[in-house]
A and B are shown apart, each in its own frame.
Chain A
């Protein structure tokens, strides 16, 4: 088995044809690996959570391969908020800077590809197959594949998603203060979003897009606050480049709005963890322990797929996963 140090020497040798003295700083490999190479960790998903784990692992000289399909769920959002030091910065800018910082570490490789499946092999390693039919081997697998939003099939909804139809008051609510706001939800979720939005604006209404489903207590509170509930199904969100202006209902009535809070259902973006046997929670998140390890040993997960959706949480859980995996690797190395 190749030790971590030998691996680095090997990688340096492979690229020594380059003119600059420290060849590893002169370019970044995006796609080439020896199929026999055994990585310490393969990280599937290279957005904030995956990169955060890679940073921790790279700094501990772990051999890391990041496989990323380059489709972060916040790619439609113009600005990311509520993450200290990066408040208001475009998501793409944050991830570009993150990649730049993480890929400085010589044991971290990043390829832009999609993973097709992951097999557990007999000798306690994992075999990761890419869609290009390449195979990569690792001792640990870390999933940071995120969630997929099941956008509502309403005309205009997808165009406004992340811009003026938003899922979270914490991430985007402050920018919508005092605007005419609709909560597009029903029941407990609608009541919850209403509570969170009420410090931000008084111009509120609830669109249940079908028969309302509130408890008597919730109904009383909503009535007392004079908030209108509209049950008529929605046919269209009129908008200009994603900025919603009007909700059109089936009876051709309409409602002027500037912002809509809506939290559509989410599903795991990748079903590979489930295929490996990882359990999900009742909310559809991947079940992990307090070290971010899934119900399958040596398969870890971090980011949106395991926890509250935010950049800060993604980075925190990624860092925790990196730490836990490195601790396990050190134990294995040190005792052998």
Chain B
């Protein structure tokens, strides 16, 4: 998987959610997002990326910790990056700017 492919398939900005299977906080964040997934996907396309399966993509976005979310626009520019869990309201505020 590479970022060009992801962006080509997307019609909106893409929220890359980097996670690891073994990471407790990642599961918590996934739960938080899943509870409001419809609202999230109104603004962005959500793409979940397992750092253990996708080392190249993780390196490209300099992922040093998980969970990390990266918001990328159609042109491939990084609009926002956040490491750690966050409240859904704050996330929606960020991605709807």
Binding site for B on A (CB under 8 A): 18-20, 23, 25-32, 70, 92, 95-100, 103-104, 112
Contact = CB atoms under 8 A, between A and B. Distances in A.
A70 B64 CA distance: 16
Majority-rule SS of B interface residues: loop
A72 to B, nearest CB: 12
B64 A26 contact: no
Interface in B40-75: 51-52, 55, 63-68
A22 to B, nearest CB: 11
Nearest to A92: B21
A326 to B, nearest CB: 23
Nearest to A68: B52
Given A30-B64, A32-B64, A112-B52, A100 B86 contact: no
B92 interface: no
Contacts, number: 63
Contacts of A26: 25, 84-85
Contact of B65 (A20, A32, A97, A98): A32
Contacts of B87: 19
Nearest to B63: A30
Given A29-B65, A30-B65, A32-B65, A18 B84 contact: yes
30 contacts: A18-B84, A19-B87, A26-B25, A26-B85, A27-B23, A27-B65, A27-B66, A27-B85, A28-B24, A28-B66, A29-B65, A30-B20, A30-B63, A30-B64, A30-B66, A32-B65, A70-B52, A92-B21, A95-B22, A96-B22, A97-B22, A98-B22, A99-B20, A99-B22, A99-B23, A100-B22, A100-B24, A103-B23, A103-B24, A104-B24
Interface residues of B, number: 22
Nearest to A113: B55
Contacts of A28: 20, 23-26, 65-66
A23 B85 CA distance: 10
Most central of B22, B63, B64, B87 by chain A CB within 10 Å: B22
Contact of A112 (B55, B67, B84): B55
Contacts of B63: 30-31
Nearest to A19: B86
B77 to A, nearest CB: 23
Nearest to B24: A100
A29 B64 contact: yes
A103 B22 contact: yes
